[in-house]
Chain A
Amino acid sequence: MSEAAEVLDVRGLLCPLPVIRAQDRIAGLVPGALLDVLATDPGTLQDVPAWCRVHGHQLVETQSCGGEIRIRIKVQ
């Protein structure tokens, strides 16, 4: 995860709020932009990728370590 990405911190929020916040942030980003979603709800590991699939955004990478989750999305 070395490329410059915008960061969305939704730690402490429960699904679907992380998805909603990511959706709203991505609405303002241009194709090709990267967004890192920082979350703590394990549900984001299911829901954010599912949301990316239905909207055609690319899920670049997910990391989960010590209760902290980082999901990188490439806006399409």
Chain B
Amino acid sequence: MATQVKAVALISGGLDSMLAAKVVMEQGVHVEGVNFFTGFCVEGHTHAIRKRRGAKPKRNNALWVAEQLGVKLHIIDVVEEYKKVLLQPKHGYGQHLNPCLDCKIFMVNKALAWGFMQDGGFDFIITGEVIGQRPKSQRKATMPVIARESGAEDRLLRPLCALNLEPTLPEREGWVRRDELFGFEGRSRKPQMELAKRFGFTEWSQPAGGCCFLTDAQYSRKLTDLWRAHGHRNYELDDIMLLKVGRHIRPAPHFKLIVSREEGENRYLEGYRKRFTTLKSISHEGPLCLVDGQPGPGDIALAARVVARYGQGRNAPVVTVAAEEADGRRRELRVAPLTPPEIPVAWHV
């Protein structure tokens, strides 16, 4: 009996990786998916934090894709290991703080290592890369770089653009038929749409800014500000999670306010009460605010005025704001809310 050929597919939750896995599954290969949690993933957290809009409950798209494909999906926590990728990217950053090429190399390498560790091992890796699809990481010149530096070498198969590349080991060994792979190239999504239709897929996720916060200009600005304020570029998971939540207002270099924008964010920030000084209007409905940094006594009064500006008492002459230290000590401040012109644009991170 022939040995079952097995492949690990990188599943992001988007269309390309879904199609790539499907193309290989159609050839009788056993496929299992891996999905990496870096801490910067748009998937999951943000949607959980922000209040649900609309009737449709939020789903994890990578899991949803796995269900559509009928494959197992292994979600792997790489938060710690990913720090090196972000902080020391050999190939540099893209438009913002996105180390896309290093990230892809890292993920293919992790997928390869994961596959080797499984019982019986896996034979090759599948990605949904398409030459020319992304300006930094998905170019013809970067394809061999990813294969080489990830250690996957010719065990890395890109089913959607394989015809534009040299045959890989799975093709040469006959594990997959090259003439049933594709030669997609460029930024057009039309070939993917047509293939999706052919497979009967009618729905897929299309995150506007990709699946990573590091490609987002505003998020990258907040991360740069965090590093500047901390005096170093290291970070913990909570640091980068909090950058996804609320308005970030820095009235002075030594402290920053994180003001929730809605109920979901309020709930999320509640979980940090024992680690930060918090502010909340008690005379009027208003947001919860975390005070990050080393504020002085006068700073808390200013912060209370900022918080009052974002609550229902914004037009009231006086708002009472409760300030609670991380150790539970509590006091009340009666403050006049700042007016919008009194909050300089430069304070908004």
Contacts and interface: CB of A to CB of B under 8 A. Distances in A.
A55 interface: yes
22 contacts: A14-B44, A14-B49, A14-B241, A15-B45, A15-B60, A16-B35, A16-B37, A16-B44, A16-B45, A16-B75, A23-B74, A43-B48, A43-B58, A43-B60, A46-B57, A46-B58, A46-B59, A46-B60, A47-B63, A50-B63, A50-B64, A50-B67
Nearest to A47: B60
Contact of A43 (B47, B64, B241, B267): B47
A10 interface: no
B37 A51 contact: no
Contacts of A23: 74-75
A59 to B, nearest CB: 13
B33 to A, nearest CB: 9
B73 A54 contact: yes
Given A16-B37, A23-B74, 19 more contacts: A14-B44, A16-B43, A16-B44, A16-B60, A20-B37, A41-B48, A43-B48, A46-B58, A47-B44, A47-B60, A50-B59, A50-B60, A50-B63, A51-B63, A51-B73, A51-B75, A54-B63, A54-B66, A54-B71
B67 A17 contact: no
Contacts of B67: 50, 53-54
B254 interface: no
A53 B75 CA distance: 14
Interface of B: 35, 37, 41, 43-45, 47-49, 57-60, 63-64, 66-67, 71-77, 241, 267-268, 271
A54 B21 CA distance: 15
A48 to B, nearest CB: 10
Size class of A's contact patch? 20 to 34
A41 B47 CA distance: 10
Interface of B is mostly: mixed
A19 B66 CA distance: 14
Contact of B48 (A14, A20, A50, A67): A14
Contacts of A17: 37, 77
Interface in A29-46: 41-43, 45-46
A30 B77 CA distance: 23
A50 B64 CA distance: 7
Interface of A: 12, 14-17, 19-20, 23, 41-43, 45-47, 50-51, 53-55, 67
Nearest to A15: B44
A19 B58 contact: no
A67 B48 CA distance: 13
Contacts of A47: 44, 59-60, 63
Nearest to A27: B74
A65 to B, nearest CB: 16
A30 to B, nearest CB: 16
Identify which of A19, A45, A55 gathers the most chain B CB atoms within 10 Å of its CB: A19
Identify which of B44, B47, B267, B268 gathers the most chain A CB atoms within 10 Å of its CB: B44
Contacts of B73: 51, 54
A26 to B, nearest CB: 11
B49 A20 contact: no
Contacts of B35: 16
Contacts of A51: 63, 73, 75
A45 B268 CA distance: 17
A47 B77 CA distance: 15
A23 B74 CA distance: 8
A41 B267 CA distance: 10
Given A14-B241, A15-B60, A47-B63, A55 B44 contact: no
B58 to A, nearest CB: 6
A24 to B, nearest CB: 8
A54 B44 contact: no
A15 B42 CA distance: 11
Given A12-B271, A43-B58, A47-B44, A19 B75 contact: yes
Contacts of A55: 72
